[in-house]
Structure 1
């Protein structure tokens, strides 16, 4: 019974941690929703431990923990794929911004040279 209580407390602490990260704006809303759903599922599976057995029987999996591990692995692969996609997109955006900045700096330098040139001839 004490392991059951510890598991429930752990699940609640995970949910509170996610909410605290969201409150401090250290976790964006689009990721917070995903992690809140995961935290709630964890809490539900902790409160109702027989639910995992029922789900595994319905899925045709003999050992309930195998279903849990398989689901977790698929979820983590999905998160890794999504984060890789986000990283690639941000790298492209950073490169484009660096190119735009270089063009703007060149234009400012050229305008500065033109102004200095017109000031020198105006003296």
Structure 2
């Protein structure tokens, strides 16, 4: 039963990302990490022995720790990407505010 829940959740994530992409609510560069997470969860749900094999290969004794590590790593990269985007947007906003201030300083005052 837990495999059905895992597979359903993974499919739900993938479908949600595709719908958001189609509605232009999510950009491709932001969707890539969510798609990776969804596909990894789908593979782990369909082939649960893959998780055991991979954790043994990496020397991780408890396979669920690999799931937690992978999830944290994906969330870290999403956060890093969002921070990078935020920094760029803050810089653009500051430059635009400075340009507007300069333009308004050069305008002659109107008398009413």
Structure 2-normalised TM-score? 0.87
Structure 1 unmatched ranges of 5 or more: 117-123
What are the superposed Cα offsets for residues 42-72 of structure 1, whole Å, 9 maximum, x if unpaired? 1111111110100000000000001111121
Greater gyration radius: 1
| Aligned equivalents of 2:69, 2:5: Cα separation in 1 | 24
- Counterpart in the other structure of 1:14: 13
When residues 7 and 72 of structure 1 are mapped into structure 2, their CA distance, relative to the original with a 3 A threshold, is: closer
Q: CA RMSD, aligned part only?
A: 1.8
Runs of 4+ in 1 over 3 A off after TM superposition: none
- Relative contact order (alpha carbons < 8 A, sep ≥ 6): 1 or 2 greater? 2
Deviation at 1:92, TM superposition (A): 1.2
- Counterpart in the other structure of 1:100: 99
Q: Say whether the 8 Å CA contact 2:51–2:63 is kept in structure 1.
A: yes
Q: Say whether the 8 Å CA contact 2:21–2:28 is kept in structure 1.
A: yes
Structure 1-normalised TM-score? 0.80
